[in-house]
A and B are shown apart, each in its own frame.
Chain A
């Protein structure tokens, strides 16, 4: 079964850090770009960033709202995607989803999400 499972969410104070993980199974992880998308409470979807695959140099793209604070990485040897979040702000409070970028770059597989709450 093709699956993505996020972990690492929790409560953190403003200015703090948190690292999210996404475990992939059931497909060849190394063949795909991977994305992070978030959804603030009661709000719409916001793309956070993307990491390309090895042939594309593992390069990354980020939303302006997180650039310089968040870092996406991957470890193809263990089929894992990560999101390192630093200098967290209250507006980063959201459910964070990892998603697989399939053919034509549609997000065709999603995890169940992990909740990050930034509050004092």
Chain B
């Protein structure tokens, strides 16, 4: 199975900050990587797929980059609505696997 490891597990930041979350895959996933945002009590929501393609309706302050086994999600200027948990996911091979999540909290 492909293991997805996110860092950090928890991130404290303030409104207006630029934040980056890292996701490492245990093997090459051929750019088949997505990022999801989840708020408490809600279903996940896709933000980015194919490493860097922004889902329709997602604000442009979200961006993704990376290749091979290392990927990042960047939020350029945190807004109050962005405090949530973020998951990376690989869909290059079965089983589909998610990272353990990064909880983004208000400092």
Are A61 and B45 touching (Cβ within 8 A)?
no
Binding site of B, secondary structure by majority: helix, strand, loop or mixed?
loop
Interface: B106 (CB within 8 A)? no
- Total residues of chain A contacting the partner, CB 8 A: 21
Chain A residues positioned under 8 Å from B91 (CB to CB): 104-106
Q: Which residue of chain A lies nearest to B87 when distances are taken between CB atoms in the complex?
A: A45
Are A110 and B45 touching (Cβ within 8 A)?
yes
List B residues 17-33 near A (Cβ within 8 Å). 32
Q: What is the CB-to-nearest-CB distance from B48 to chain A, in angstroms, rounded to a whole number? A: 9
Complex Cα spacing A45 to B89, Å: 9
Which of A50, A112, A113 is within 8 Å of B96, CB to CB?
A: A50
Chain B residues positioned under 8 Å from A50 (CB to CB): 94, 96
Are B43 and A110 touching (Cβ within 8 A)?
yes
List A residues 78-120 near B (Cβ within 8 Å). 97, 104-108, 110-113
A interface residues (Cβ-Cβ under 8 A, vs B): 35, 37, 44-47, 50, 61-64, 97, 104-108, 110-113
List 27 A-B residue pairs with CB atoms under 8 Å apart, sorted by A's residue number. A35-B96, A37-B44, A44-B87, A44-B98, A44-B100, A44-B101, A45-B38, A45-B87, A45-B89, A47-B95, A47-B96, A47-B97, A50-B96, A62-B95, A64-B1, A64-B95, A97-B43, A104-B32, A104-B50, A104-B53, A106-B50, A106-B55, A106-B91, A107-B44, A107-B89, A111-B43, A112-B43
B interface residues (Cβ-Cβ under 8 A, vs A): 1, 32, 34, 36, 38, 43-46, 49-50, 53, 55, 87, 89, 91, 94-101
